[in-house]
Every structure is written in C-alpha cells, then in structure tokens.
Amino acid sequence: MASNIGKYEDARKSFDWNIAKKELGWKEGEPLNIGALCSDRICDLGDAEKTALIWEGFGDKHKSYSFADLRAYSNGFAKLLEEQGIKPGDRVCIFMDKIPSLYFSFLGILKMGGVAQPLFSAFGDESLHVRLDSAGARAILTTKKHVRKVRKILADLPALEKVIVVDGDGSKLKDDELFFDVEAAPRVDSYDCYPSTPETPSVLHYTSGTTGQPKGAQHVHSSGWGQYLTTKWVLDLKKDDIYWCTAGPGWVTGTSYGIIGPWSLGVTQCVLDVGFGAAMGYKFIQDNKISIWYSAPTAIRSLMRQGTDTVNEFDLSTLRHLASVGEPLNAEAVVWSEKAYGLPFHDTFWQTETGSMMIANYPGMTIKPGSMGKPFPGIEATVLDLKTHEPLTEPGKVGLIAFRPGWPSMFREYRSKPEIYRSKFVGEMKDKEVSKLHLAKDLWYVSGDRASIDKDGYYWFVGRDDDVINTGGHLVGHFEIESALIEHEAVAEAAAIGKPDAVNMEVVKAFVTLNPGYEATGDLELKIMNFIRKRLSPLAMPQEIEFSEKLPKTRSGKILRRYLKALEWGEDVGDLSTLEDD
Ligand code: PRX
C-alpha cells in the first residue's frame, strides 16, 4: 500500500501549506473552525454514520459514537455554553478523565468561539489553581469525581463563574453548580458555528519551563491545517484505519493527534480510559482491530519489559504503522518493536509550542534506530551553535534545535508573558512586534533541546538545554516542585532534578535542607511527601527526597541543579567556576 506522503524528498521539494487548505476545502476569507472541521464537515462529506469514537472505560464499559453523534453532542456543549453567557474568546477549562464528554466538549467550545483549556484530571488543587488563574477561565466542565478539587479553590478564582458537572444524575451538587448530561439533553443536530478565522484563539495548553509557573501556549484555529497534514503524512492515516493515540487531551499530543488530526481526516479513533498495561493494551488493539498506534517511549519501554510472550497471546495483525513521541526513543525500543510486532516505532519530535510534528520518521523512509528522523516537509529546521546561535553546518556537531517561524500550528503567545515568548526567538529582534514573531522569516524559534544532524540529514536528540525534567514524556519544571516543598514548615531550601530511570528515562529527585529544629528522618520524608502530594500532579511527585546540609550554589546564590544532576547521572560535573566557596 502506497503511503500518503509518497517519497519524502519529493514531498519536501514540492511542499506548500496550501495543500492542507485545499484538501480541507478552505478558501481565503472564509471562516475556519476546528470544531466544524472535525465533525460537521465530515458529516457533510457523507460520513455522518461512520464511527468517530470507540470508547472503553472502567467496569468494562464500551461505547461508540458516529460523526453525526460527534456533531450533535459538540453542538450540545456549544449551545449550553452560549446559553450560559460564555462569549467567544472566553477560556473554558475541561477537567475530567478521558470520557466521551471530554471529546464532545472540546469541539463544542471551539464551535462557539471559546478557547479550550484541557487539563489533566489527576492534577491536585494547587496545580489546577495555578493554571485556571493564569488562563482567567470563565467556566469549567468537570465531573462529580473531580468537582471537589474545583470547590476547594473556587473562592480564589474570581474569573471562574460557571462550574458545570457533565456526569452523574445532578444530585449532591452545590446551588451554584450546573448539571449537564449532553447525551440525555435534547439532541442539537445543527448549530451555527462561530465564524472564527485562522488567527482566532482555539486551544490553550499549559507547559512547564525552567522559571516560574507553567506557561499557557496559545494556539489558533489555523493549527488544524498543520495537524491535518502531519496526521495524514506522518501517521499515514487513511479512511479505513482504526487509530489509537494513547495520550490524553490534558497534553498537546492528546488534542493535536487525539482529536483534531484524526477527526479532521474523518478517521475512526479509539480511546481507552482505564490506565495502561501490556495485556490490556494488546486486547484493546485486538478487539478494535486497531491499525495505527501513536504511543510514547515510556509505554514502549514498559511493554518491552513484559516481553514478546504477552505480545504473542494476542492477534495484533491489524497493526500497520506505529509512531512515538515525547521523549527520546532509544534504538533498542525500535529494534525490539520490529521483533515483537513486525513493525518499528517511528519516532516523532515536537512540542506543545509547535502544535504539530516538526521532525519525524516517515512511512517508507529508512529508519536509523535512535534518530528522530528529518524535518516535516514545509518545516525549515536547523541546529544552532550553542553560543553564537548561527546554524551549524558540520555534521555531528551538537547545537540547539531551531525552526524557522511560519508553520500554521505554531503557538502565538505564552499567555500574559510576552517577554518569555520573545526570549524563545533568536536573530535580529530589534523593532519586531511581539504579535508578528510567528511570521518572522529572519528569526529562529529555539526549542530548548539539543541535537546533532548527521551527514544524511537525520536529527539525533542529545538532551534538554535547560533544567526541565522530562519524566515519562511529561515536562515538569523544578520551580513547581520546589515551591511546593518549601511551603512545608521543615524545609528551608529545595532543589529538584531528574535522576535516571529505566522506564521513565527520568524521575524527579528532590534535595532539601531543613530549618533548625528538624531532623532528617524517614518519618519526616514521608510527612513532606504527603504534604506535597496534595499540591502537585502525580507526575511531578519526587520519587526520593535527599536531605542535605547545604545545596551547591553559584556565587550569586542560584542553586546549581546542573551539578546535582551530573552527580546523580555519574557525569562530568563540568565548569564549576561559579560554584560558591565553602
Ligand atoms: O524535550 C523534548 C521532548 O519533549 C519536549 C516537548 O514536550 P511537550 O511540550 O510536553 O510536548 C510533548 C509532546 C509533543 C521537547 O522539547 N521530546 C518530544 N519529542 C521527543 C522529545 N525528546 C526526544 N525525542 C523526541 N521524539
């Protein structure tokens, strides 16, 4: 079967983003709305009765929905929000497990012109508060299981006017909470979508950085063009495929490739809302005849540990293409998957900020196991010298991965943080308006990652260029963890780093110094752990707390996490000239 992309080099040579616009039937000056693109348009093309979503949840619950259902239920949410006084441009948070209403409401928010802010349902109240506050969200859609966390912080969120619970029977809600079960409500088969333009804000995703609290990367409706074409060319989705993206929409993978990409192509996708294990995952593939699977290295490494015996217990013969994202995909995992499934995992590299895949291994292209592949056609990529920021021309030299601005799914700002957004670009910045940086063809957008390019043009990931911890594919900023730690009365100072882990690549380790009067005991470690558990997401939780007499610092007093990390990884500690004297 020929791949959608055809020959990579040819696709690159003749590339034009108009391909996406044309295939999606969009003409200059017309509205562009991702909600409509993913449901109404597919129905109008004659696929109203085709299955859009196959869903499995706890208690062996199975449900399936057609594109007509997707249209009606997303319309239902759009209408509800409109009736509740939510206006175009308002941020609406979605805070729930991967239940069908998450998917319906995401499209519904976009249909009425709102900005969808999906958040991971396991976030504790502190993580939730920080992100809702920054977004200035006016409404939150949640479930009876998670509404407790919203209640705890509601008083500190003056912008948050509407709390809407989308499951259960509406009992035990507070007076000011609204109950809305979209499947029980009158079906809304048609709805006039907000006439958004390619530049209208669409999705707001929070991502962790080195400084300060998580930043809100704001996307716009034109991202749909990038997500559509990369899904088609990199994941190779075709009309009859059954697709599974393991990521939840709390992260960008779960929206770009777990909602927008597949549904803009009218493809059936599956969602498994019951955690993840080898046998469970394989059974899900077998039962649903999944053909394309987009996963992550941590999941793949844990599958490797379960071995090929488990694989052989299932019929996985429907699988035809596998891809991965989020962390370095080690060569062994690629080689193993070829042995276990007869198919290699194709690594892809991108970020919350880029909105769509930037570097990837394409169907039909020779994979060099361990490499991230080559830039997507239409993406100009390079690695920049670490100091001069000039593009490196010598193969194998390590530099900063950078992209020429201008691709459609690039983020447009970090919400309320123009200076941090500006700092992501290098080149002649003078006189450049911050609102135009995403179009500046003489600048580079710098990803914050290091890589080298080999003589054949393949990119090889080296590591992050900052202190951000990537644990199991999820970025965690040390600031969040340290802030939670120092709120504990016993903790004087704290430093969080990533330490090596066989499955998750990195897990969080914290170093703390104690206030006078406290003793470094196992009991205290447990108390501190319990204290921060309430404030942090489970992913950001340290696996270990080490008590120290003092933390290494620069002469100017900054904690040298780099030093702690090098010791932990058994690496050269590097230049210590700035280390504070004893
Ligand atoms: O450090 C890189 C790593 O994940 C970061 C982006 O994380 P996030 O914004 O949460 O988006 C993740 C899903 C798109 C990158 O800056 N990363 C992503 N893909 C890869 C990777 N590291 C190595 N190899 C990859 N393929």
Give CA separation, 419 vs 353, 384, 437, 438, 493, in Å: 15, 21, 12, 14, 28
447 Cβ inside 6 Å of ligand 1: yes
Q: Is 356 in the pocket of ligand 1 (CB under 6 A)?
A: no
Contact 376/358 with Cβ under 8 angstroms?
yes
Which amino acid is it at 144? Answer: K
| Per-residue pLDDT tens digits for 471-520 | 988 898 888 899 899 999 999 999 999 999 988 989 999 999 999 999 99
Can you name the CATH fold of 380-466?
Luciferase; domain 3 (2.30.38)
Per-residue pLDDT tens for 169-190? 999 999 999 999 999 999 999 9
- Pocket probe mutation, ligand 1, options 204, 350, 367, 469, max atoms within 8 Å of Cβ: 350
> Which is the CATH superfamily of the domain at 467-582?
ANL, C-terminal domain (3.30.300.30)
Mutate which of 349, 368, 374, 466 for ligand 1? The one with the most ligand atoms within 8 Å of its CB, which is 349
Query: pLDDT tens digits for 105-138?
Result: 999 999 999 999 999 999 988 889 999 999 999 9
Does any ligand 1 atom lie closer than 6 A to the CB of residue 118?
no
- N residues, the chain: 582
In this structure, the residue with its CA closest to atom 24 of ligand 1 is 328
Residue 348 pairs in a beta bridge with 325, 360
Q: Per-residue pLDDT for 580 more than 70?
A: no
Name the residue of 324, 329, 475 to mutate for ligand 1: max ligand atoms within 8 A of Cβ: 475
- Give CATH superfamily name and number for 1-30+222-378: ANL, N-terminal domain (3.40.50.12780)
pLDDT-derived band at 577 (thresholds 50, 70, 90) equals: low
Alpha helices in 313-397 (DSSP H): 331-341
Token couple for 48: 């109203």
pLDDT surpasses 70 at 99: yes
Give dist(CA 461, CA 454) in Å, integer: 11
How far, in Å, from the CA of 351 to the mean position of ligand 1? Answer: 5
**507, 498 contact by CB (below 8 A):** yes
Ligand 1: centre distance to CA 354 (Å) = 10
Six token digits for residue 154: 């509601």
Segments of 396-482 assigned E as strands: 399-403, 413-414, 425-426, 444-453, 459-464, 469-471, 474-476
SS3 81: helix
Banded model confidence at residue 582, pLDDT cuts 50, 70, 90? very low
| 571, pLDDT greater than 90 | no
Q: Kindly list the distances between the CA atom of residue 387 and the CA atoms of 384, 398, 400, in Å, as whole numbers in the listed order.
A: 8, 11, 10
Name the H helices within 14-66.
18-23, 34-38, 40-42
Alpha-carbon span 253 to 356, nearest angstrom: 8
348 C-alpha vs ligand 1 centroid, how far in Å? 9
Q: Is 448 in the pocket of ligand 1 (CB under 6 A)?
A: yes
- Domain boundaries defined on the chain: 1-30+222-378, 67-221, 380-466, 467-582
CATH tag, 67-221: 3.40.50.980
Question: Are the folds of 1-30+222-378 and 67-221 the same?
Answer: yes
Q: Name the token pair of 198.
A: 């390619």
pTM for the full predicted model:
0.93
Q: Partners of 203 in the beta sheet?
A: 116
How far apart are the C-alpha atoms of 218 and 114, rounded to whole Å? Answer: 12
- Best of 294, 324, 325 to mutate for ligand 1, by most ligand atoms within 8 A of CB? 325
Better pLDDT: 289 or 536: 289
Strand residues in 363-490 grouped as ranges (E): 374-375, 381-384, 399-403, 413-414, 425-426, 444-453, 459-464, 469-471, 474-476
What is the pLDDT, as a whole number, of residue 467?
84
